[in-house]
Structure 1
């Protein structure tokens, strides 16, 4: 696993995303019909985020492109990314995305995974020198930030699965937006919720990993959430209680890359994502632990990344989203 992202690899990842963010079909809408009038095409429902097989994958593919544009503003794919953003982030298209969320049937739309990625995209756009895209997206950003503010106080329990409903992932990604934009009230809410949900967790067995369609490690994303949100001293006390035998590569199930038997099956293909998201978490956590443990985590990151790297493209069930998680792993220092 390379220490830094090369221009050539950035161009390859950008090409993958550019190949599907405007590809409308096949498509799997997360859409509730309240009447016949609600039967519309993906691009009619979501004029910005209609590609990449589903709404949330389209959002985080735009994040991938925004990060690559920031890191390689003169890269081979930079002109195509800028042109795409100018087409997508317009006032009327964003207004239509906002209008969709006003329906009562959309209250829980993409909670929390899509919420998290929309705020993560907003944070990345905020860091670009061209402010027009961030400003255009702001009305939609505001809606999802408010949904966090409304939902977290009434959510008594976390969701610990390894798929889209995982709440630790939702907190961790939203933290980047809150910090980038200086929203201290939201950051405090995220931190207090993480403490409430996960602060007493100890001796995690990770016995349920991997499940048959995981793309997140419920153990490692919880740890990464706490690393991101807790002050360093508080995390240093919490983490050894949560995974006390990590330096010995235990629980062993966390250190064995998942086996993928059929990449044309969308659920089984999730397991390539599990390998990549674990690589991201291992690498991020290695920045906050003692050297001996950090070496173990970096080796595990390398092993998981190598298992998934050959499969970022080739079958659309993985191609429409896996590059995002590869980029997370490759750009840990960027947040």
Structure 2
């Protein structure tokens, strides 16, 4: 479970990197020499945490912890940071970046989903942050509206391009802020995934931080409602026997200084997040027990390693928080 001590550790980590401009890995297309600018010139808010999307979910982590523990020792620093950064003029700079002709595919879809989840979290606070972020959230929602109807095939990889993970985050936001987008997400998810049966779970790949199989499960739990349990019984019919074994076995991380290999710590934590959803959504006691056991073992494998090397430190606490809170 999340404790105040662990929350304080996560908050300190995020406060240490969301403003750290270098090293930085941009998702940036140069149309000419004039486009070669430092991260903070391109992104007035999200120029830390090694890359744009990690900075976005670093801010989400801070606001989520602030809501859970308003008296956290870091609470004042979190509020001051949000007051400084989540303001209309800085948001306007982020929106302007999206208007660049070369930015059509910027952060699609992972960063899109995380920005909407950040806005959904900001809406839980009595602060001007949600109103300031609204234009940026609407800009990304518009991109989802335009993109999803032409995405003929779901992207099932275990990295940033995974369709299910991004739509799970977006659906959380759309439930309150955009009913039409939520309906579109449900329509597309059903079209892509309703017929999936007996998942073989050929994972993980060597640099994956998301489970293709379990992210699909997480999305379908949101989309299907009362129909989910029947769908899940067909999708993973031997879950009570902990099969396929690959989904129940934490990944081994051989080098946490390698920015790709350390993704596997994120896989362990995001799988735990998904397994908790399964445990709370099925009536079969065998499946529930297997899911909870898998969640516990995956958390135990990677929670001790959220700090230590910047390649994991700039993002892993977010996935640890997802796993612990079930958000």
2:154 is aligned to: 158
Instruction: Name structure 1 gaps, 5 residues minimum.
Output: none
- The CA distance in 2 between the partners of 1:302 and 1:134, in whole Å, is 34
1:221 is aligned to: 215
1:169 and 2:162 correspond: no
Q: How much has 1:292 moved relative to structure 2?
A: 2.1
2:139 is aligned to: 143
1:26 is aligned to: 23
Q: How much has 1:228 moved relative to structure 2?
A: 1.6
Given that 1:162 and 1:211 are in contact with CA atoms closer than 8 Å, whether structure 2 keeps it comes out as: yes
1:250 is aligned to: 243
Q: How much has 1:92 moved relative to structure 2?
A: 1.2
1:88 is aligned to: 85
Aligned residues: 326
Q: How much has 1:9 moved relative to structure 2?
A: 1.3
Q: How much has 1:234 moved relative to structure 2?
A: 1.2
- The CA distance in 2 between the partners of 1:180 and 1:271, in whole Å, is 32
- The CA distance in 1 between the partners of 2:56 and 2:22, in whole Å, is 16
- The CA distance in 1 between the partners of 2:221 and 2:16, in whole Å, is 34
2:69 is aligned to: 72
1:56 is aligned to: 53
1:281 is aligned to: 274
2:188 is aligned to: 193
Given that 1:172 and 1:229 are in contact with CA atoms closer than 8 Å, whether structure 2 keeps it comes out as: no
Q: How much has 1:51 moved relative to structure 2?
A: 0.1
- The CA distance in 2 between the partners of 1:310 and 1:329, in whole Å, is 13
1:270 is aligned to: 263
Q: How much has 1:112 moved relative to structure 2?
A: 0.4
- The CA distance in 2 between the partners of 1:151 and 1:271, in whole Å, is 29
Q: TM-score, normalised by structure 1?
A: 0.96
- The CA distance in 1 between the partners of 2:237 and 2:125, in whole Å, is 40
- The CA distance in 1 between the partners of 2:278 and 2:53, in whole Å, is 25
Q: How much has 1:266 moved relative to structure 2?
A: 0.2
Q: How much has 1:124 moved relative to structure 2?
A: 0.5
- The CA distance in 1 between the partners of 2:242 and 2:182, in whole Å, is 32
- The structure 1 residue matched to 2:34, chosen from 37, 50, 54, is 37
Q: TM-score, normalised by structure 2?
A: 0.98
- The CA distance in 1 between the partners of 2:316 and 2:125, in whole Å, is 23
CA RMSD of aligned residues (A): 0.8
Q: How much has 1:104 moved relative to structure 2?
A: 1.3
Deviation per residue, 1:124-145 (Å, 9 max, x gap): 0011122x00101111111001
Deviation per residue, 1:109-166 (Å, 9 max, x gap): 0000000000010100011122x00101111111001111111011110000000000
- The CA distance in 2 between the partners of 1:39 and 1:62, in whole Å, is 26
Deviation per residue, 1:54-95 (Å, 9 max, x gap): 000000011101101111112111101000001111111110
Deviation per residue, 1:260-300 (Å, 9 max, x gap): 11111100000000000001111121100122211110110
1:299 is aligned to: 293
1:202 is aligned to: 197
Residue aligned with 1:238, SS? helix
1:320 is aligned to: 314
Q: How much has 1:330 moved relative to structure 2?
A: 1.0
